[in-house]
Amino acid sequence: AHESTGLQSQPPPEEQNYGATEAHKRQGPFVSVSRNSPAKRDYLTVGVLCYANLINFMDWFIVPGILLDIQKYFNLRDGEAGLLQTAFILCYMVAAPFFGYLGDRYNRKIILGAGIFFWSVVTLGTSFISESYHWMFFLSRGLVGIGTASYSTVAPTIIADQFDEGKRTTMLSVFYICIPVGSGLGYVLASSMANVTGDWHWAFRVTPCLGGIALVLLIKLVPHKIQRRTEAHRALSISGTIRVAAEKPGVQRSAKTTWWQDVISLAKNCSFVWSSLGLTAMAFVTGALGMWVPMFLYRAQVVQGTVSPCVFYYDFTVLNCLLCFVNSLIFGGITIGTGILGVVAGAEAARRLRKINNRADPLICATSMFVSALCLFIALMMAQRSITSTFIFIAFGELFLSANWAVVTDILLYVVTPRRQSTAIALQILVSHLLGDAGSPYLVGTISSVIQANNNHSVQWSFRSLQYSFIICVFVGVIGGGFFLLTSFYVEDDRKEAEK
């Protein structure tokens, strides 16, 4: 009888929550309407988006998994090798605002499909580049970044439109688990294919096939048009029924705004600005770690005397160089495990702590950044003495970094009005990568090259150069924690403003 009632009253105030569990309540009557599609279709859509996100980040981290091979094949120094990831990220972040604009205004399924097809084709072409055309390798990585941007800016908004309350947090957590899991699988795939085939080019021929499968699933299982929250007047899912707030007489729907108006509005949103800068610090640290950790661990083992330096002969290496593949495999496994555990733990902690503290989300992010920076510093200091201890503290550092992925996006989705969410995500991508992982791999590599050039050429200074250059990531991690603390001062007011 309760579900069939045409007019519903608001739940009592004590039942209201903040964050993703906030259902964006409104005063006034509600009219009960049914879903246009069954819940099963929504979960299938999320499944397809998560699978494509997994392939996305696998492709992202193929290069770090076989970096030593690529360096030797194209004869690249540390700074030049770091520029590979920088080229990818630069194109990715520059393209993101463009796709954010399209995602807020045009069919998102078409944008997703075009992006998946483009990055799959370009990645496949990368595998046929010879050593005399190293500039084409840099260009191809940049083009892959453009294709990736079309996906990353649009997919989270689809999930946000399909789920309300706590389910949105859960679905976003699953989606963002694919970031560390896909990254780890990228290392595993790259090092395994290079080891099995004896040719690192084969590492770039697997993800295009998986991308083709993702494109077919997208076409078959994802609806052509997905209703936006602004079009549904913020539909609320209660007891299996969608309740849409009845429009008051004389109140008109929000007018269309220009891109510049959206940008100006977002720039005035303090929670969005500070949390985006916090995410930038996260991206800086993860970008540097993802690119250089396997190489750093290898050089630490050489300094310890447990292995001899690699010697390359034309198209093959001595057995000792297999240790580089082993480090990539171990680091990939750590990234997968800590990614899953971290995202789940972060989302669950946010869900529980929101009930007692309305500022729980940014405070969780700040704490995670501080602890992660401490773990990274200990790992750097322990590397010359114990590789096992280094792996352990790197794992804890990644664990606390991963705890923030879903929570940061959740903050954006409830402090930004729905009609600007794609643009907000695109701007966040632009800023976080421009000041974050677009430069951190290159910066760490360049500092390492400068330190080596100013000291005697030895295995000791080869290791120390990376160790000293990594210290910058510790400082950036602490600064990122400070940005999230600033977010906590504004998050409540900005959430309320977004609900108006």
d(CA 124, CA 255): 43
Terminal-residue alpha carbon distance, the chain: 31
CA 278 – CA 401 distance, rounded (Å)? 11
Q: What is the pTM of this model?
A: 0.69
- Given a cut of 50, is residue 252 above it in pLDDT? no
> Of the ranges 64-78, 86-100, 318-332, 397-411, which is most confident?
397-411
The whole-chain average pLDDT of the chain stands at 78
Which phi and psi (to 5°) does residue 375 adopt? Answer: -65, -40
CA 192 to each of CA 78, 299, 435: distance values in angstroms, whole numbers, following the listed order: 23, 20, 32
In 3D space, the residue among 328, 300, 324 whose CA is nearest the CA of residue 312 turns out to be 324
Place of tokens 């910058």: 472
Residue 316: count of CB within 10 angstroms of its CB: 9
Enumerate domains of the chain plus CATH numbers. Answer: 38-229 (1.20.1250.20), 259-310+318-499 (1.20.1250.20)
- DSSP annotation of 7: B
Per-residue pLDDT reduced to its tens digit, 2-19: 333 333 334 444 444 444
**pLDDT at res. 8:** 39
- How far is residue 116's CA from residue 55's CA, in Å, rounded to a whole number? 9
CA 326/CA 188 separation, integer angstroms:
9
Instruction: Give helix 207-221 / helix 108-126 axis angle, nearest 10°.
Output: 160
Rounded-to-integer distance, Cα 88 and Cα 190, Å = 17
The first and second tokens of residue 442, run together, are 């290159």
Which three-class secondary structure state does DSSP give residue 438? Answer: coil
pLDDT digit string, tens, across residues 479-500: 999 999 999 999 999 998 888 7
Q: What is the pLDDT of residues 376-391, one digit of tens each?
A: 999 999 988 888 899 9
Q: Is the pLDDT of residue 430 over 70?
A: yes
Work out the pLDDT band at 409, boundaries 50, 70, 90: confident
Is the Cβ–Cβ distance between 146 and 118 less than 8 Å? yes
Q: How far is CA 248 from CA 8, 23, 245, 256, 309, in A?
A: 15, 19, 9, 20, 74
Cα angle 283, 284, 289; round to 5 = 95
Predicted confidence at residue 489, as pLDDT, reads: 94
Quote the CA–CA distance of 354 and 194 in Å, as a whole number: 46
Angle at 314 between CA 201 and CA 204, to 5 degrees: 5
**Cα torsion angle, 48, 54, 58, 59, sign:** positive
Q: 489 φ, ψ to 5°?
A: -75, -20
8 A C-beta contact, residue 40 and residue 406: no
CA distance 233 to 169: 20
* Rounded Cα gap, residues 412 and 414, in angstroms: 6
